Every structure is written in structure tokens, then in C-alpha cells.
Amino acid sequence: MEFTNVVETRRSVREYDASRKVERSVVEEIIKEASYAPSWKNSQTARYHCIMSEDIIKEVEQECLPEFNAKNADGASAIIVASFVNHRSGFERDGRKSNELGDGWGCYDLGLNNMIFLLKAHELGLSTLVMGLRDEKKIKELLNIGDEETIVSVIALGYSDVQPSMPKRKDVDSVAKFY
Ligand SMILES: Cc1cc2nc3c(=O)[nH]c(=O)nc-3n(C[C@H](O)[C@H](O)[C@H](O)COP(=O)(O)O)c2cc1C
């Protein structure tokens, strides 16, 4: 698929075909592509906790997502918890923040990485839903993730059962200023 087409036709999907499963090798291929994203001093602090087991997916949906997101993600064949390793991206070797953003850079790097994840998934015929509304504490407990990582989003990954239309976008004039 041509790049522009991949970018413009990707949609957040909230209905999945539960009968179609994603292989682990495909998830690995998507993460490999995402790893080509830039990161602060090439620190590569993005992490993916990939839940493929149906039992654990159910547990995440029931325990760690609000009801509407559990319903949105239902039928997805993988649930991916995206996190970053704290205090590396945006920090000096001696532990000082390089500038005022500090761990904001870890979040920034993860977003760049996740965007490639979403686009690669779409190129391979899969769909995704980024969920920012999730219970960080319960996810950490369930997956035994320590304080060295910050959980950011939960991403549903699977085969779509629907073809959503694109929510309206702002035009360039309202988001860009030229000097
Ligand atoms: C950081 C972030 C958090 C989001 N959280 C949720 C969420 O909790 N639940 C949901 O249904 N959609 C969520 N979305 C999806 C957005 O609503 C969606 O990207 C937006 O409406 C544009 O639609 P599109 O992705 O199809 O272009 C989130 C998206 C982002 C980037």
C-alpha cells in the first residue's frame, strides 16, 4: 500500500472479528517495524507488553479497562500495553533532566514508535484502537510491570468487522503557523 493511502485509510476500530486470530510472528513484525522510529539519543525506551492469551485478554478487558473500552476492544486478538522506560529518554547519563520536559520525551518517543506500529498493522490488513482510558495500577499488577516503566496506552489489535469513516480533521490553516 502506498504511504499516503496507509496514513489516510487507517481508522480507530471499535468492532473486531473474534474468529480471526493474529499470529505472534505478525505482532513481532509490526514491533520490528516500529523499532525503526527515532528516539532521544537512540535510547529506544518504548516497550510492548503483548497479551495474546484469551484468558489474560479477558482479564485485562474486565479488570483494567472502563466498560465502554472493554466493549470496543472485544474480539481483538491481541491487547498491547505500550509503555516506556523512565528517566532515560530526555535525561543525561548522570540522571539530570536534559531540559524541562524530562520523561515527556519518553512519552514522545513512545508516540512516534506507536504511530509506526499502527500504520504497519494497517498495512498488513489489521486494525487497531489506542485506548488512553485504562487503569494503570491494575495493568501493572496483572502483568507484574515494575516502577521503572510508565504505562501509556493500551492498543487493541485485530481484524476489523466494520469500515468506519474518518472523523473530520482540522485544516492546515488552523494547526500550522508559518513565520
Ligand atoms: C492518546 C489517544 C487516546 C485514545 N483513547 C481512546 C479511548 O480510550 N477509547 C476510544 O474509543 N478511542 C480512543 N482513542 C481514539 C481516538 O478517539 C481516535 O484516534 C480519534 O477519534 C480519530 O479517529 P481515527 O483514529 O479513526 O482517525 C484514543 C486516541 C489516542 C491517540
Q: What is the mean pLDDT of residues 72-100?
A: 98
Whether residue 6 is predicted with pLDDT greater than 90 in this model: the reply is yes
Q: Is 154 in the pocket of ligand 1 (CB under 6 A)?
A: no
For residue 1, what pLDDT is reported?
A: 77
Tell me, in angstroms, the distance from the centre of ligand 1 to residue 59's CA. 22
50-59 residue pLDDT tens: 999 999 999 9
What is the chain's alpha carbon radius of gyration, rounded to the nearest angstrom? 17
Q: Is 12 in the pocket of ligand 1 (CB under 6 A)?
A: yes
